[in-house]
A and B are shown apart, each in its own frame.
Chain A
């Protein structure tokens, strides 16, 4: 049975705030940064108005924002923060600490480029720099998916078999500050889906003098890291299951949760991308189809854990991939492209791959640009 929804107009950041309001975290610890700020502003308002019964810690830096959440997570309560860009970099040490420490924190990253050049507009350079931090990363395509993903993130992170922090990613301004329709379930149904965080994955307790984050010798260290790798592997299934369960309850799914296919199952060219560019690419696919060209699209929704199997299976059937990247590994290539090429190579798939960098530092990427890039890729012989 699908629950009732109200149609509302709201920004992507407001959609995130609604999801948090409904998930009822106990501790929010936050610091302002554009374009994330309106998420935590809204939440502070909810707390002050008594709509959300939570402790709101107004900290003095992003480093402390995440540290506050870490303290709350170690104490076994649901906790939330959000950040962007330089703020994410400033909290870097704690991003890794909470990933490797297996703390179930939910922290949307409102994607914004890194300085210099000084700019507040979107690309994925910030969150992509943290792919190795032990966080689940889900890249959303629109306001609706932001709400849905933030709700799901609490469930995924707080599952005892997973115990990993989650980073729902949303493009700055294009999602965060743009008003669009969101089908909003009510507070009760939303909370019923998320549930109480009553069986914490970790909890400091005066009756048990446990030590958290203490010394680990080399002989045990590999075990700690292997556990994390295995949890990431389990997270793939969890995300797929969550997507399905979410669909049954709310009537919406996003591909299989890991990747989302648009258009025909087999085509001459497959556009591969993440975030809002992937949403725009759907229009490009339609346009190209009208012109009689055979193009489909694969959106990588979950970047960590990386959906190797799903990507490989789809790529195998298709002839050529055009990977559009919104972030670069300098000295190498677009970051998504690098990973796609790696899994194809590892699985001996000979589908060719071409890469394009688009939308860096807020460059607008309307569908005609993607159409042009796709046509070029169809013409080239690789």
Chain B
């Protein structure tokens, strides 16, 4: 099931057509093109209020080349449940019901609905593309915002740790949980394909740099995403309910060892939101990163 660079060049379906409304250097659309493109022939997409409800375009110029249902902010997992159950009654069990939404819905307003669908073991793949903010509304703090990051509602830097949605879903008996990155597309596509082949509720959370809100150069999106992995701040892993084991993904393996990690400032200095992070905030961010790793290690 390994996905190679060659596979990336031959995306089975153009899921994202020309003329989408995304910002230059959008990490989310990059991930979308490959992740959804790899599984697109049998997909029904459910999109909660998010950047994706805008960048899909509108009218005759719609850029999403897959059937798409737009829902209210907190409704996507329940709408997807309804679609899945209805398709079951129609004998269309082979369809893949995929939610594509941001961290605003996935980590905050929609999390009760998400846990509800997970609790019911609905056969859904929920993909959170995390840009760490409410991007569409102008970049306010979300539950998934990094410590130290300046947002529209944390002008002096966010002080609280990220809400770890993957861990929450592991605790709620999801079938499969993984993190991924816009900087490692082979790994992302591999995980998405694997997830849709499984029954039950699956969650993949993607690090998706957002140049306007991260105040980064749109040419640096992939570089920043890769640095998040190399600095250890965004560990890539998979967890499978059957084994209850975490496997660190290949791009992250080397960086489990803290001594191999690139200094965090290499990653922060490329982002306006983190450029003036204080010493204390940097310490907290490092501590929070370690907290994540320690959590993961318990399943290894």
Contact = CB atoms under 8 A, between A and B. Distances in A.
Interface of A: 26-27, 29, 53-55, 57-61, 63-65, 67-77, 79, 93-94, 97, 204-206, 208-217, 220
Interface in B67-114: 67-75, 77-90, 95, 112-113
A77 B86 CA distance: 6
Contact of B82 (A60, A69, A215): A69
B75 A57 contact: no
B152 interface: no
Nearest to B46: A71
B176 to A, nearest CB: 21
B54 interface: yes
Contact of B58 (A59, A68, A73, A215): A215
21 contacts: A26-B89, A53-B89, A58-B120, A60-B115, A64-B116, A67-B79, A68-B85, A70-B75, A75-B82, A77-B86, A93-B74, A206-B43, A209-B64, A211-B56, A211-B70, A212-B68, A212-B69, A213-B69, A214-B62, A215-B57, A215-B59
Contacts of A217: 58-59
A74 B116 contact: no
A57 B112 contact: no
A65 B79 CA distance: 9
Contacts of B56: 211, 214-215
Interface of B: 41-44, 46, 53-54, 56-59, 62, 64-75, 77-90, 95, 112-113, 115-116, 119-120
In this complex, the member of A65, A74, A210, A217 whose beta carbon has the largest number of chain B beta carbons within 10 angstroms is A74
Nearest to A65: B78
A60 B81 contact: no
Contacts, number: 155
Contacts of B113: 60-61, 63-64, 67
Given A29-B81, A71-B69, 4 more contacts: A67-B113, A71-B81, A79-B82, A214-B70
A59 B116 contact: yes
B72 to A, nearest CB: 5
Overall SS of chain A's interface: mixed
Given A57-B85, A211-B68, A64 B75 contact: yes
B86 A79 contact: yes
Contacts of A54: 89
A63 B43 CA distance: 25
B64 A63 contact: no
Nearest to B80: A71
A347 to B, nearest CB: 38
A96 B229 CA distance: 42
In this complex, the member of B54, B56, B85, B119 whose beta carbon has the largest number of chain A beta carbons within 10 angstroms is B85
A220 B59 contact: yes
Contacts of A214: 53, 56-58, 62, 68, 70
A78 to B, nearest CB: 9
A60 B112 contact: yes
